[in-house]
């Protein structure tokens, strides 16, 4: 069950990541310039994938603490996405 929950949170994280990446927000555009020279154009997605793979690995082993930590990470991403897309920042 932890594996499925982490996978669904990972899908949500990638969806939020894409929405923010395509938002055109000045902070996001500045961040893209940081990643672009080294990992064109998907460097931030690689980091997101690494986090998801780690969470899935530990969830497969039954680690509730890591699944909860990944849940907190997803919640923080949701708040940050809402702030950026709603223009509150």
**Residues 6, 68: contact at Cβ < 8 Å?**
no
Where helices occur in the chain by DSSP H, the ranges are 2-21, 26-39, 43-60, 64-85
The token duo for 85 is 């897309």
Per residue in 34-88, pLDDT tens? 766 665 667 778 889 999 999 999 999 988 999 999 999 999 999 999 999 997 7
Tell me the pTM.
Answer: 0.84
Per residue in 63-72, pLDDT tens? 899 999 999 9
The token duo for 34 is 């940081």
Rounded distance between C-alpha atoms, residue 54 and residue 58, angstroms:
6
Per domain, the residue ranges of the chain are 2-85
Tokens 């998801």, residue?
52
């Amino acid at each position: 069950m932890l594996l499925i929950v982490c996978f669904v949170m990972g899908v949500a994280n990638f969806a939020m990541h894409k929405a923010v990446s395509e938002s055109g927000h000045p902070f996001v555009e500045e961040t893209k310039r940081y990643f672009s020279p080294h990992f064109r154009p998907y460097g931030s997605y690689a980091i997101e994938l690494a986090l998801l793979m780690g969470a899935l690995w530990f969830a497969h082993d039954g680690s509730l603490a890591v699944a909860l930590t990944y849940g907190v990470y997803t919640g923080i991403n949701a708040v940050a996405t809402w702030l950026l897309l709603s223009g509150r920042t």
